[in-house]
Amino acid sequence: MTDSQFDAAVERIRNGDKNALKLIYDAYGDKIYRLFLSKLHNHQDAEDLTSDFFLKLWECASTYQAGNGHRCWMNTIARNMAVDYFRKSGREIPAEDVEIINTDAFTEHTTAEDTTINKMHTSHLLSSLSDEEQEIVQMHIAAELTFREIAVILKRPLGTVAWKYRTAIGKLQKLAKEGELV
């Protein structure tokens, strides 16, 4: 969805058109879900927050300013909702609920056990990164955000985000190779 299409949809939402919200949901529902999943590591909570996100988008459509980049606006709302969730819940995420990236692309023909092992391996590899590196990798891979969008959300320079991502990927590749040798 382009900025102008999003701007038009928000204008329709302001006028009470629920179909415009459906257009935005169809375009971004999966990405918002993956963003929440990358932060919460829990499918049910990510689904709940995704639903809440679109209700919030409906409620705060009047605050949207056209021309400032709709993806960053939406990602900021989602990030703030995730932070609020953690503040309110104050609970830890169970390890068995962890799923960092969508592994369907490389596990579609494997057994459930192989999928579980892949998820555990991915989770173990990611746990070796700093919190900021994990967040950047998850936002870029799971939520499919650009480095520019991540930089805006995290309030970090674009070069720093790209550098931290490349460094993190290098660490993951090294750890994955070491794991193959064992």
Cβ-based neighbour number of residue 112 at 10 Å: 8
DSSP 81-134: HHHHHHHHH--PPPGGG---S--HHHHTTS-HHHHHHHHHHHHHHHHTS-HHHH
Walk me through the domains of the chain, giving residue ranges and CATH numbers: 1-92 (1.10.1740.10), 101-182 (1.10.10.10)
Residue position matching structure tokens 């606006």:
73
Cβ-based neighbour number of residue 50 at 10 Å: 22
Q: What pTM was estimated for this model as a whole?
A: 0.52
pLDDT digits (tens, 9 = 90+) for 61-75: 888 888 777 887 887
Q: pLDDT-derived band of residue 53, with 50, 70 and 90 as boundaries?
A: very high
Q: pLDDT-derived band of residue 123, with 50, 70 and 90 as boundaries?
A: low
Residue 180 has pLDDT above 60, yes or no: no
